[in-house]
Structure 1
Amino acid sequence: MKKLMYLFAVCMLIYACSQGNNSGQDQAASTDATTSASPAATSGYDPKRGEGKYDKVEVGDKLDAAMAAKGETVANLKCASCHKYSKEKLVGPGWSGVSKKHKPEWIMNFITNPDAMIDKDPELQAQLEICLVRMPNQNLSEEDARNILEFMRKNDGVQ
Protein backbone atom coordinates (compact mmCIF):
# COMPACT_ATOMS: atom_id res chain seq x y z
CA MET A 1 0.00 0.00 0.00
CA LYS A 2 2.88 2.30 0.83
CA LYS A 3 4.40 1.68 -2.62
CA LEU A 4 1.08 2.50 -4.29
CA MET A 5 0.83 5.80 -2.40
CA TYR A 6 4.42 6.64 -3.39
CA LEU A 7 3.67 5.80 -7.01
CA PHE A 8 0.56 7.98 -6.94
CA ALA A 9 2.52 10.87 -5.44
CA VAL A 10 5.23 10.58 -8.11
CA CYS A 11 2.64 10.50 -10.92
CA MET A 12 0.88 13.55 -9.50
CA LEU A 13 4.22 15.37 -9.26
CA ILE A 14 4.98 14.58 -12.89
CA TYR A 15 1.53 15.80 -13.87
CA ALA A 16 1.86 19.01 -11.86
CA CYS A 17 5.29 19.76 -13.29
CA SER A 18 4.07 19.22 -16.85
CA GLN A 19 1.40 21.90 -16.51
CA GLY A 20 3.80 24.83 -16.71
CA ASN A 21 3.39 28.22 -15.06
CA ASN A 22 0.40 29.86 -16.75
CA SER A 23 -1.42 32.90 -15.51
CA GLY A 24 -4.92 32.17 -14.21
CA GLN A 25 -6.53 33.40 -17.44
CA ASP A 26 -4.24 31.33 -19.67
CA GLN A 27 -4.76 28.29 -17.47
CA ALA A 28 -8.55 28.60 -17.71
CA ALA A 29 -8.36 28.87 -21.48
CA SER A 30 -6.03 25.88 -21.62
CA THR A 31 -8.36 23.81 -19.45
CA ASP A 32 -11.34 24.68 -21.64
CA ALA A 33 -9.43 23.72 -24.79
CA THR A 34 -8.30 20.35 -23.43
CA THR A 35 -11.55 19.21 -21.90
CA SER A 36 -13.97 20.00 -24.68
CA ALA A 37 -13.64 18.94 -28.29
CA SER A 38 -14.52 22.16 -30.06
CA PRO A 39 -14.72 22.01 -33.85
CA ALA A 40 -11.83 24.48 -34.09
CA ALA A 41 -9.61 22.28 -31.92
CA THR A 42 -10.37 19.13 -33.89
CA SER A 43 -10.62 20.48 -37.44
CA GLY A 44 -8.30 18.50 -39.65
CA TYR A 45 -7.75 15.93 -36.93
CA ASP A 46 -7.85 12.31 -38.08
CA PRO A 47 -9.01 10.12 -35.17
CA LYS A 48 -7.66 7.01 -36.90
CA ARG A 49 -4.16 8.44 -37.40
CA GLY A 50 -3.86 10.85 -34.52
CA GLU A 51 -1.70 13.96 -34.39
CA GLY A 52 2.01 13.63 -35.07
CA LYS A 53 4.62 12.73 -37.65
CA TYR A 54 3.57 9.13 -38.28
CA ASP A 55 1.38 8.72 -41.37
CA LYS A 56 2.11 5.06 -42.07
CA VAL A 57 3.66 2.51 -39.71
CA GLU A 58 4.36 -0.89 -41.22
CA VAL A 59 3.79 -3.85 -38.93
CA GLY A 60 4.00 -7.43 -40.11
CA ASP A 61 1.39 -10.12 -39.71
CA LYS A 62 3.84 -11.86 -37.40
CA LEU A 63 5.35 -10.45 -34.26
CA ASP A 64 8.97 -9.29 -34.22
CA ALA A 65 9.96 -11.00 -30.95
CA ALA A 66 13.23 -9.08 -30.57
CA MET A 67 11.46 -5.73 -30.91
CA ALA A 68 8.73 -6.85 -28.50
CA ALA A 69 11.33 -7.86 -25.90
CA LYS A 70 13.02 -4.45 -26.19
CA GLY A 71 9.62 -2.78 -26.01
CA GLU A 72 8.73 -4.68 -22.85
CA THR A 73 11.96 -3.48 -21.23
CA VAL A 74 11.21 0.15 -22.11
CA ALA A 75 7.54 -0.19 -21.10
CA ASN A 76 8.50 -1.66 -17.72
CA LEU A 77 10.77 1.33 -17.16
CA LYS A 78 8.64 4.16 -18.60
CA CYS A 79 5.01 2.97 -18.66
CA ALA A 80 4.32 0.31 -16.05
CA SER A 81 4.17 2.76 -13.16
CA CYS A 82 0.90 4.11 -14.62
CA HIS A 83 -0.39 1.33 -16.90
CA LYS A 84 -1.17 -2.33 -16.35
CA TYR A 85 -0.88 -4.66 -19.31
CA SER A 86 -4.35 -6.06 -18.57
CA LYS A 87 -7.66 -4.20 -18.95
CA GLU A 88 -7.36 -2.96 -15.37
CA LYS A 89 -6.85 0.78 -14.83
CA LEU A 90 -3.94 1.86 -12.64
CA VAL A 91 -3.26 5.60 -12.99
CA GLY A 92 -3.86 5.37 -16.73
CA PRO A 93 -5.97 2.85 -18.62
CA GLY A 94 -4.92 -0.76 -19.06
CA TRP A 95 -3.21 -1.76 -22.30
CA SER A 96 -5.14 -4.91 -23.15
CA GLY A 97 -6.70 -4.55 -26.60
CA VAL A 98 -5.04 -1.23 -27.48
CA SER A 99 -3.28 -2.54 -30.60
CA LYS A 100 -6.52 -4.08 -31.82
CA LYS A 101 -8.55 -0.93 -31.20
CA HIS A 102 -6.13 1.61 -32.71
CA LYS A 103 -4.03 1.73 -35.86
CA PRO A 104 -0.25 1.60 -35.47
CA GLU A 105 0.02 5.24 -36.63
CA TRP A 106 -2.34 6.37 -33.86
CA ILE A 107 -0.40 4.46 -31.21
CA MET A 108 2.98 5.78 -32.39
CA ASN A 109 1.66 9.35 -32.56
CA PHE A 110 0.16 9.10 -29.08
CA ILE A 111 3.28 7.56 -27.53
CA THR A 112 5.49 10.29 -29.01
CA ASN A 113 3.07 13.24 -29.02
CA PRO A 114 0.57 12.82 -26.16
CA ASP A 115 -0.13 16.51 -25.50
CA ALA A 116 -1.35 17.35 -29.01
CA MET A 117 -3.34 14.12 -29.14
CA ILE A 118 -5.07 14.78 -25.82
CA ASP A 119 -5.85 18.34 -26.93
CA LYS A 120 -7.56 17.16 -30.13
CA ASP A 121 -8.89 13.63 -29.64
CA PRO A 122 -12.39 13.46 -28.11
CA GLU A 123 -11.85 9.86 -26.99
CA LEU A 124 -8.65 10.81 -25.14
CA GLN A 125 -10.39 13.79 -23.58
CA ALA A 126 -13.10 11.45 -22.27
CA GLN A 127 -10.39 9.12 -20.95
CA LEU A 128 -8.74 12.07 -19.20
CA GLU A 129 -11.99 12.75 -17.35
CA ILE A 130 -11.88 9.17 -16.03
CA CYS A 131 -8.16 8.98 -15.22
CA LEU A 132 -7.75 12.64 -14.16
CA VAL A 133 -4.05 12.63 -15.10
CA ARG A 134 -2.61 13.59 -18.48
CA MET A 135 -0.13 11.17 -19.93
CA PRO A 136 3.28 12.85 -19.72
CA ASN A 137 5.53 13.00 -22.75
CA GLN A 138 8.24 10.43 -22.05
CA ASN A 139 10.44 11.80 -24.87
CA LEU A 140 10.89 8.34 -26.34
CA SER A 141 13.04 7.76 -29.39
CA GLU A 142 11.36 6.53 -32.56
CA GLU A 143 12.98 3.12 -31.98
CA ASP A 144 11.72 2.87 -28.38
CA ALA A 145 8.19 3.90 -29.44
CA ARG A 146 8.16 1.32 -32.23
CA ASN A 147 9.41 -1.37 -29.84
CA ILE A 148 6.66 -0.50 -27.37
CA LEU A 149 4.12 -0.80 -30.18
CA GLU A 150 5.45 -4.28 -30.95
CA PHE A 151 5.21 -5.19 -27.24
CA MET A 152 1.59 -3.95 -27.21
CA ARG A 153 0.89 -6.24 -30.17
CA LYS A 154 2.46 -9.17 -28.27
CA ASN A 155 0.39 -8.23 -25.21
CA ASP A 156 -2.71 -8.46 -27.44
CA GLY A 157 -1.84 -11.95 -28.67
CA VAL A 158 -0.01 -11.35 -31.95
CA GLN A 159 2.50 -14.14 -32.47
Structure 2
Amino acid sequence: MKSVFKSKIFTLVLVAVTLGLLTGFTGVGTHLNGNGGFTSIKAKSNTSSVETLAKCDAGKSSDNKAAKCGDGKSSDNKAAKCGDGKSTDKKAAKCGDGKSTDKKAAKCGDGKSTDKKAAKCGDGKSVDKKAAKCGDGKSTDKKAAKCGDGKSTDKKAAKCGD
Protein backbone atom coordinates (compact mmCIF):
# COMPACT_ATOMS: atom_id res chain seq x y z
CA MET A 1 0.00 0.00 0.00
CA LYS A 2 2.82 2.34 0.90
CA SER A 3 4.66 1.60 -2.32
CA VAL A 4 1.53 2.35 -4.39
CA PHE A 5 1.05 5.61 -2.46
CA LYS A 6 4.71 6.51 -2.94
CA SER A 7 4.54 5.77 -6.64
CA LYS A 8 1.42 7.97 -7.01
CA ILE A 9 3.13 10.83 -5.15
CA PHE A 10 6.24 10.32 -7.28
CA THR A 11 4.12 10.40 -10.45
CA LEU A 12 2.30 13.55 -9.28
CA VAL A 13 5.58 15.27 -8.40
CA LEU A 14 7.07 14.24 -11.73
CA VAL A 15 4.04 15.54 -13.61
CA ALA A 16 4.07 18.78 -11.60
CA VAL A 17 7.78 19.32 -12.22
CA THR A 18 7.39 18.55 -15.91
CA LEU A 19 4.43 20.91 -16.22
CA GLY A 20 6.29 23.55 -14.25
CA LEU A 21 9.32 23.31 -16.52
CA LEU A 22 7.15 23.40 -19.64
CA THR A 23 5.20 26.41 -18.39
CA GLY A 24 8.42 28.10 -17.33
CA PHE A 25 9.98 27.67 -20.75
CA THR A 26 6.76 28.71 -22.44
CA GLY A 27 6.60 31.79 -20.22
CA VAL A 28 10.17 32.75 -21.10
CA GLY A 29 9.46 32.01 -24.74
CA THR A 30 6.34 34.13 -24.67
CA HIS A 31 8.23 36.94 -22.94
CA LEU A 32 11.05 36.92 -25.46
CA ASN A 33 8.97 36.13 -28.53
CA GLY A 34 5.91 38.16 -27.67
CA ASN A 35 6.64 40.56 -30.50
CA GLY A 36 7.42 37.84 -32.97
CA GLY A 37 10.76 36.77 -31.57
CA PHE A 38 14.23 38.25 -31.69
CA THR A 39 14.01 38.56 -35.45
CA SER A 40 11.04 40.90 -35.17
CA ILE A 41 12.69 42.96 -32.41
CA LYS A 42 15.87 43.23 -34.47
CA ALA A 43 13.88 44.27 -37.50
CA LYS A 44 12.17 46.96 -35.46
CA SER A 45 15.48 48.27 -34.15
CA ASN A 46 16.76 48.53 -37.72
CA THR A 47 13.73 50.52 -38.81
CA SER A 48 14.62 54.16 -39.54
CA SER A 49 13.25 56.72 -37.11
CA VAL A 50 13.61 59.52 -39.64
CA GLU A 51 10.60 58.67 -41.73
CA THR A 52 9.39 62.30 -41.91
CA LEU A 53 12.57 63.59 -43.55
CA ALA A 54 12.09 65.06 -46.99
CA LYS A 55 15.60 64.30 -48.22
CA CYS A 56 18.68 63.13 -46.36
CA ASP A 57 21.86 62.09 -48.14
CA ALA A 58 23.55 59.91 -45.58
CA GLY A 59 20.47 58.90 -43.66
CA LYS A 60 22.03 59.88 -40.34
CA SER A 61 20.12 63.11 -39.88
CA SER A 62 18.06 63.63 -36.75
CA ASP A 63 16.23 66.56 -38.38
CA ASN A 64 12.55 65.98 -38.74
CA LYS A 65 11.74 68.99 -40.88
CA ALA A 66 14.97 69.79 -42.67
CA ALA A 67 14.54 70.03 -46.41
CA LYS A 68 18.10 69.10 -47.29
CA CYS A 69 21.08 68.21 -45.15
CA GLY A 70 24.64 67.75 -46.37
CA ASP A 71 26.02 64.96 -44.24
CA GLY A 72 22.97 64.09 -42.21
CA LYS A 73 24.48 65.34 -38.95
CA SER A 74 22.63 68.64 -38.84
CA SER A 75 20.63 69.40 -35.71
CA ASP A 76 18.70 72.20 -37.42
CA ASN A 77 15.01 71.49 -37.49
CA LYS A 78 13.90 74.31 -39.77
CA ALA A 79 17.02 75.25 -41.72
CA ALA A 80 16.43 75.31 -45.44
CA LYS A 81 19.98 74.39 -46.43
CA CYS A 82 23.10 73.74 -44.40
CA GLY A 83 26.57 73.21 -45.80
CA ASP A 84 28.20 70.71 -43.51
CA GLY A 85 25.32 69.84 -41.25
CA LYS A 86 26.95 71.42 -38.20
CA SER A 87 24.95 74.63 -38.25
CA THR A 88 22.90 75.48 -35.18
CA ASP A 89 20.90 78.17 -37.00
CA LYS A 90 17.22 77.35 -37.00
CA LYS A 91 15.96 80.12 -39.29
CA ALA A 92 19.02 81.05 -41.35
CA ALA A 93 18.33 80.95 -45.07
CA LYS A 94 21.86 80.04 -46.12
CA CYS A 95 25.06 79.53 -44.16
CA GLY A 96 28.49 79.08 -45.67
CA ASP A 97 30.25 76.67 -43.36
CA GLY A 98 27.40 75.74 -41.06
CA LYS A 99 29.03 77.39 -38.05
CA SER A 100 27.01 80.59 -38.11
CA THR A 101 25.03 81.43 -34.99
CA ASP A 102 22.96 84.12 -36.73
CA LYS A 103 19.29 83.25 -36.60
CA LYS A 104 17.89 85.91 -38.93
CA ALA A 105 20.85 86.86 -41.12
CA ALA A 106 20.04 86.64 -44.80
CA LYS A 107 23.57 85.80 -45.94
CA CYS A 108 26.82 85.43 -44.04
CA GLY A 109 30.23 85.00 -45.62
CA ASP A 110 32.10 82.75 -43.22
CA GLY A 111 29.34 81.88 -40.80
CA LYS A 112 30.99 83.76 -37.95
CA SER A 113 28.89 86.90 -38.18
CA THR A 114 26.96 87.93 -35.08
CA ASP A 115 24.78 90.44 -36.97
CA LYS A 116 21.15 89.48 -36.72
CA LYS A 117 19.63 92.01 -39.12
CA ALA A 118 22.51 92.93 -41.42
CA ALA A 119 21.63 92.55 -45.09
CA LYS A 120 25.14 91.69 -46.25
CA CYS A 121 28.46 91.45 -44.44
CA GLY A 122 31.83 90.92 -46.06
CA ASP A 123 33.77 88.81 -43.60
CA GLY A 124 31.09 88.10 -41.04
CA LYS A 125 32.82 90.15 -38.34
CA SER A 126 30.64 93.25 -38.62
CA VAL A 127 28.86 94.41 -35.47
CA ASP A 128 26.51 96.70 -37.43
CA LYS A 129 22.94 95.60 -37.00
CA LYS A 130 21.24 97.87 -39.54
CA ALA A 131 24.02 98.79 -41.96
CA ALA A 132 23.04 98.22 -45.57
CA LYS A 133 26.55 97.41 -46.78
CA CYS A 134 29.90 97.26 -45.03
CA GLY A 135 33.23 96.80 -46.74
CA ASP A 136 35.31 94.85 -44.27
CA GLY A 137 32.74 94.13 -41.64
CA LYS A 138 34.50 96.28 -39.05
CA SER A 139 32.30 99.35 -39.37
CA THR A 140 30.54 100.54 -36.22
CA ASP A 141 28.11 102.81 -38.15
CA LYS A 142 24.55 101.78 -37.50
CA LYS A 143 22.76 103.95 -40.07
CA ALA A 144 25.43 104.71 -42.67
CA ALA A 145 24.29 103.92 -46.18
CA LYS A 146 27.74 103.13 -47.55
CA CYS A 147 31.19 103.18 -46.02
CA GLY A 148 34.41 102.57 -47.89
CA ASP A 149 36.65 100.83 -45.38
CA GLY A 150 34.18 100.18 -42.60
CA LYS A 151 36.13 102.33 -40.14
CA SER A 152 33.92 105.41 -40.28
CA THR A 153 32.21 106.41 -37.04
CA ASP A 154 29.59 108.65 -38.73
CA LYS A 155 26.15 107.44 -37.79
CA LYS A 156 24.04 109.38 -40.26
CA ALA A 157 26.48 110.13 -43.11
CA ALA A 158 25.10 109.13 -46.48
CA LYS A 159 28.51 108.33 -47.95
CA CYS A 160 31.97 108.27 -46.43
CA GLY A 161 35.15 107.93 -48.45
CA ASP A 162 37.49 106.40 -45.94
Q: Give the alignment's TM-score, normalised by structure 1.
A: 0.17
Which structure has more helix as a fraction of its residues? 1
Which protein has the larger Cα radius of gyration, Structure 1 or Structure 2? 2
Q: Give the alignment's TM-score, normalised by structure 2.
A: 0.17
Q: Which has the higher contact order (CA 8 A, sep 6+)?
A: 1
